[in-house]
Amino acid sequence: MDKKTDRFTRTPMREQKPDVRKHNFDEVPCGYSEEEAVREATRCLQCKHAPCINGCPVHIKIPEFLKLIEEKKYSDAAQKIKEDNALPAVCGRVCPQEIQCELKCVLHGKGAPIAIGNLERFAADWQREHQQAPLERCAIKKNGKKVAIVGSGPSGLTVADELIRAGFEVTIFEALHVAGGVLMYGIPEFRLPKRIMQEEIHHLELLGVKIETNFVVGKTAELDDLFSDEYGFDAIYIGSGAGLPVFMGIPGENSVGVYSANEYLTRSNLMGAYKQNATTPISHGKHVVVVGGGNVAMDAARTALRLGAEHSVIIYRRSEVEMPARDEDVQHAKEEGVEFHCLCNPVAILSDAKGVVTGIRSSRMELGELDDSGRARPVAIKDSEFEIACDVVIIAIGNHPNPLIPQTAPDIDISSRGTIIVDETTGRTSKKYVYAGGDIVTGSATVILAMGAGKIAAKSMIEDLL
Amino acid sequence: MHTILKKERLNELVWRYRIAAPKIAKKRQAGQFVIVRVESDGERVPLTIADADASAGWIELIVQAVGHTTTKMSQLNEGDVILDLMGPLGHPTEIKKYGRCLCIGGGVGVAALYSIASALKAAENEVTTIVGARNQNLLLLETELEKVSDRLLIATDDGSKGQHGFVSDVFKKLQAQGEHFDFAIIVGPVMMMKVTSDLTVAAGIKTLVSLNPIMIDGTGMCGGCRVCVNNEIKFACVDGPEFDASGVDWDTVMQRLNAYHDVEKKHQCKLNGLPHDG
């Protein structure tokens, strides 16, 4: 390392300026140059015990790939990541590294931890842009077993990657017309360009993974059909996600102009409503209120700005400290002009005679005792109600598990919350040769946790079937 | 590949499509629907499955060219391929031996009605079918419905065929004649379902209505199709499409259907090359 290089200071990533980016759907961070990447990777101390790896739900060999970047072997670095993670270009962008690998970095506290996420993204992007498709998996020996994967979100794709490499014949069944799950319909273009997502999926297809879109497991075929001679699968992995939006149950919620975040983001992302020529309509609200404090709420509030909103407001019932969204996303939203009303809870959505939204009424809240989640419980302050005028309300307060599989597979044990019950160490469900992971098991969580669950299930599927 | 095997014009704006869809044909039951997409970057629209043949591997859809996507679809011909077709979705109609059944419908709702009436008839029910239209040229599936019904009664707004008036008038007449029924299913325009189900429910008949709200994914993910039933939010795609009429909040059903009315008008103008005023 150059003696002048500061071991403790992070190499920043260039970003589009807030007043420019809030009018376009292009990605906000611009990525590292080779020089920046090498400089950042060189800061790594190459600790023998590598605590960062323990912070990663899929255990990427972080010091090894950082070393390869330092040596300017960028494609090798990407390969090293792909040994453990099928979607590095995605995770480099959307993982909450600050509470995972980067939190465990020994530089953390003394200075800034290594920008592991930025470097993961750099390696994956470099390999993709230089079209150095990995060759090692071309000659995979088949083991003769067939596996069906339900859902093509992060956990399903991870299982597909693990099992195709282990010699299985792998088919992913996706209900929508495009593969990718929440990465396609949920996360907006400006955080995760859809082109990159599709290339990561295409990469899996090159390895031999088959993807059947427009196929709703539970409807087009039930689990038992997939085991029958007609389909002939030996095992099934369920990664159908947390698909059922939660509403607040307050008056006016069915008014015209009230969306679940899923609907709003799906219209914009998956159906391309943000493009000029798309046929799927979306309300181009001038005054948009988003209810919720997670990443999805930030995505919705920032999408609204890009669709032309003059005001985009977040209403969150706890304080900013409790906000589950990533700091980076909250920061980006603030820079772009999203207004935050914390410690507020909606009590009614107001509408005109035609049932079209005109505003939202909320109570101010204060924090009380800790609740089951370990966070301070918000309590309404008496006589504190106030109104905000708006023409669109987006509800982003979470999702229930998708009911389609539980409805049609009564022999799978389901929790009272509607999630599929599995043995956490193996991903096995109560039904033989059926495994599950991701949001359908945990309820709404992160991309990388879903991927971690996929890896665990894949491992036990290999054990059980071979 | 979902190839269009047969296309038949039923009236000025309505077509019947027979489409190759072996997996859906095999699973489909009365009352279920599919989601269709006909162009990239296009909408996803729900359409009821009117009929299917599992061994021949096709389903039939009745399409009325009212919006952007249905108009685009009406321009497709035999041999063309439907870009995306997903299903069968929704809970099937609960078919059992109820006794005397009423199947009431209007508009393209008769597509669903036909599949349900067939199934009820096959389950040894006595089926009285009442269908309505503005005039006799707009009546759909009359011959088909006649085959699966013990009797078919018709109402037209202009009196060109059958009872002069609405399907609700036909029901009132039956009621006045002292007829009783054990079960009713109503599928059609929202106002027709509301008015008619108010009467059948008041007459103490267990009544289901098949709702057709705006929908996107069809798998419960977006919540766009939510309806208020017994003061609870339900999703038509995964909880429906049929609901007990006595609990349906019709006002919100109507409000939400009109959400994109203005946008649709613009699309129509674009498709027809007409200027629009918005």
CA distance B154 to B175: 16
- Whether residues A268 and A225 share a domain: the answer is no
**Which tokens hold the place of A313?**
């407001």
Q: Which residues contact A165 (CB under 8 A, 6 or more apart)?
A: A137, A140, A207
Task: Give the pLDDT mean for A257-262.
Answer: 94
**Whether residue A153 sits in one domain with residue A270:** no
Q: Are residues B118 and B187 in the same domain?
A: yes
Euclidean distance between CA atoms A207 and A134, whole angstroms: 10
Q: Is the pLDDT of residue B277 over 70?
A: no
Q: Quote the pTM value.
A: 0.91
Q: Are residues A387 and A260 in the same domain?
A: yes
Tell me the one-letter amino acid at B11.
Answer: N
Q: What pLDDT sits at residue B265?
A: 58
Judged by CB atoms closer than 8 Å, whether chains meet at A219 and B217 is answered as: no
- Tell me how far apart the alpha carbons of residues A377 and A382 are, in angstroms, rounded to a whole number: 16
Examine the fold and report which residue of A71, A99, A129 is the final residue of a domain before the chain moves on. A129
A376 vs A388: which has the higher pLDDT: A388
Q: Is B14 in the same domain as B61?
A: yes
Residues B73 and B135 both lie in one domain: no
Strands B100-106 and B84-89, bridge-based pairing: unpaired
Q: Which residue of A has its CA nearest to B43?
A: A280
Does residue A349 share a domain with residue A262?
Answer: yes
Q: Is B208 helix (H, G, I), strand (E, B) or coil?
A: strand
Does residue B140 have a pLDDT over 80? yes
Instruction: Give Cα separations from A120 to A114, B205, B206 (angstroms).
Output: 11, 64, 60
Residues of A in contact with B249 (CB under 8 A): 254
Q: Is residue A4 part of a domain?
A: no
Structural domain containing residue B182: 100-210
Among residues B210, B238, B258, the one where a domain terminates is: B210
* DSSP annotation string for A142-161: P-S-EEEEE--SHHHHHHHH
Residue B264 CA to residue B278 CA, distance in Å, equals 11
Whether residue A16 contacts residue A26, with contact meaning beta carbons closer than 8 Å, is answered with: yes
d(CA B109, nearest CA chain A) in Å: 22
**How far is it, in rounded angstroms, from Cα A116 to Cα A124?**
12
Query: What pLDDT score does B171 carry?
Result: 95
Tokens of A312: 């985009």
d(CA B67, CA B59): 22
Q: Are residues A392 and A416 in the same domain?
A: no
Q: Which residue has the higher pLDDT, A271 or B110?
A: B110
User: Once rounded to an integer, what is the mean pLDDT over residues A399-425?
Assistant: 90
Confidence label for B274 from pLDDT (cuts 50, 70 and 90): very low
* Nearest chain A Cα distance for residue B224, angstroms: 6
pLDDT bucket at B276, cuts 50 / 70 / 90: very low
Do residues B78 and B106 share a domain?
no
Segments forming the whole domain that contains residue A382: 247-397
CATH code of residue A310: 3.50.50.60
Query: How many separate domains does chain B show?
Result: 2
A267: DSSP letter: I
CB of B234 less than 8 A from some CB of A: no
| A394: phi then psi, degrees, rounded to nearest 5 | -120, 125
Q: What is the mean pLDDT of chain B?
A: 90
Instruction: Answer whether B28 touches A (CB < 8 Å).
Output: no
pLDDT at B129 over 80: yes
The encoded tokens of residue B179 equal: 């007829």
Total residue length of chain A:
466
B157 plus B126 within the same structural domain: yes
Around A186, how many Cα atoms within 13 Å sit in the side-chain half-sphere? 27
Band of residue B278 on the pLDDT scale cut at 50, 70, 90: very low
The predicted-structure confidence for B21-48, as pLDDT tens digits, reads as follows: 999 999 999 999 999 999 887 889 999 9
pLDDT of residue A269 exceeding 80 = yes
The closest CB to that of B85, out of A214, A221, A253, belongs to: A214
Cα separation, A258 vs A393, whole angstroms:
5
Residue B244: strand pairing partners = B208
Q: What are the beta bridge partners of residue A346?
A: A362
Taking contacts as CB-CB distances below 8 angstroms, the residues of chain B near A215 are: 23, 86
pLDDT value at position A386?
Answer: 96
Q: Which two tokens stand for residue A210?
A: 């088959």
> If pLDDT is split at 50, 70 and 90, which confidence band does A14 have?
very high
B235 in any annotated domain: no
Closest by CA to A405, choosing from A415, A424, A422, A420, is A420
Identity of residue A406: P
**Has residue A275 got a pLDDT over 90?**
no
A393 plus A423 within the same structural domain: no
Q: Is residue A11 part of a domain?
A: no
Say whether residue B226 is in contact with chain A using an 8 A CB cutoff. yes
Do the chains contact at B233 and A220, CB–CB below 8 Å? no
Determine the length of chain B: 278
Report if residue B228 sits inside a domain.
Answer: no
Domain assignment present for B124:
yes
In a domain, residue B229? The reply is no
The DSSP letter of residue B234 is: E
Q: Which of B23, B219, B255, B267 to mutate to test the interface with A (most CBs of A within 10 A)?
A: B219
CB A320 within 8 Å of CB A422: no
Alpha carbon distances (Å) from A94 to A90, A400, A420, A452:
6, 22, 25, 15
Together in a domain, A371 and A270: yes
pLDDT at A39 over 90: yes
Which among A213, A216, A278 is the nearest to B89, CB-wise? A216
Any chain A CB within 8 A of the CB of B63? no
In a domain, A218, yes or no: yes
Which contiguous run of DSSP H or E holds residue A214? none
Domain boundary pick from B89, B122, B142: B89
Residue of A nearest to B239 (CA): A403
Judge whether A233 lies within some domain.
Answer: yes
Residue ranges in A287-379 assigned as alpha helix (H): 295-306, 327-335
A292 neighbourhood in chain B, CB within 8 Å: none
Give the residue ranges of DSSP H helices in A136-247.
Answer: 154-165, 182-185, 194-206, 223-227
Mean pLDDT of A162-188: 94
ipTM reported for the complex, 2 dp: 0.89
Same-domain pairing of A238 and A325: no
Q: What total number of domains does chain A contain? A: 3
A351 occurs within a structural domain: yes
Last residue of a domain, one of A370, A397, A424: A397
Contact A277 B42 (CB under 8 A): no
Q: Do B116 and B201 reside in the same domain of the chain?
A: yes
Domain end marker among A350, A366, A397? A397
Asked whether residue B259 is domain-assigned, the answer is: no
What's residue A409's pLDDT?
87
In a domain, A99, yes or no: yes
DSSP code for B93 = P
Both A386 and A288 in a single domain? yes
Say whether B86 and A175 touch across the interface (CB within 8 A).
yes
In the numeric block, the tokens 């980016």 are attached to: A21
Within an 8 Å CB–CB cutoff, is residue B84 touching chain A? Answer: yes
Question: Does a structural domain hold residue B263?
Answer: no
CA distances from A198 to A71, B37, B232 (A): 29, 20, 38
**Who among B44, B220, B263 is closest to A402 (CB)?**
B220
CA separation for the pair A127, A137 (Å, rounded): 16
Q: How confident is the model at residue B272 (pLDDT cuts 50, 70, 90)?
A: very low
Residue A152: partners with Cβ closer than 8 Å, 6 or more residues away: A172, A174, A179, A180, A181, A201, A211
> Considering chain A, what is the average pLDDT of its residues?
92
Are the beta carbons of A313 and A342 closer than 8 angstroms?
A: no
Q: Domain containing B199 — which CATH number?
A: 3.40.50.80
CB-CB contact of A247 with A253 (8 Å): yes
Do B104 and B202 belong together in one domain? yes
Q: What is the CATH number of the domain that holds A38?
A: 1.10.1060.10
B86 and A185 within 8 Å at the Cβ level: the answer is no
Say how many C-beta atoms besides its own lie within 10 A of residue B265's C-beta. 15
Nearest CA in chain B to A277: B41
Based on the fold, state whether residues B129 and B82 are members of the same structural domain: no
How far does the CA of residue A253 sit from the closest CA of chain B (Å)? Answer: 9
Q: Is residue B231 part of a domain?
A: no
Instruction: Return the pLDDT at B275.
Output: 40
> What tens digit of pLDDT does each residue of A123-174 get?
999 998 987 555 555 567 889 999 999 999 999 999 999 999 999 999 999 9
Chain B: give the shortest CA distance to residue A392, in Å.
Answer: 12
Asked if the structure places residue B223 within a domain, the reply is: no
Verify that B6 and B48 share a domain, yes or no: yes
> Is A6 contained in some domain?
no
Which stretch of A138-152, A322-336, B150-164 has the lowest confidence by average pLDDT?
A138-152
Most confident of A120-129, A365-374, B253-262: A120-129
Choose among A247, A257, A407: nearest Cβ to B233. Answer: A247
Residues A205 and A253 in one domain: no
CATH number (domain holding residue B80): 2.40.30.10
Q: Which residue has the tokens 């609700």?
A: B168
Q: Judge if A324 and A377 occupy the same domain.
A: yes
> Which positions 182-211 of A are in contact with B (Cβ < 8 Å)?
185
A251 touches chain B (CB under 8 A): no
The answer to whether the CB atoms of B88 and A220 lie below 8 A apart is yes
Average pLDDT of span A318-342: 94
Give yes or no for residue A48 having a pLDDT over 50.
yes
Is there a contact between B86 and A220 if contact means CB atoms under 8 Å apart? yes
Q: Of the residues B190, B210, B230, which one is the last residue of a structural domain?
A: B210
Q: Is there a contact between B27 and A259 if contact means CB atoms under 8 Å apart?
A: no
A402 touches chain B (CB under 8 A): yes
Amino acid identity at A399: N
Task: Indicate if A389 and A251 belong to the same structural domain.
Answer: yes
Q: A46: how many CB neighbours lie within 10 A of its CB?
A: 10
Q: Which residues of A touch B238 (CB under 8 A)?
A: 244, 403-404, 407
| Mutant choice from B26, B221, B237 vs A, greatest count of A C-beta within 10 A | B221
pLDDT at residue B262, rounded to an integer: 62
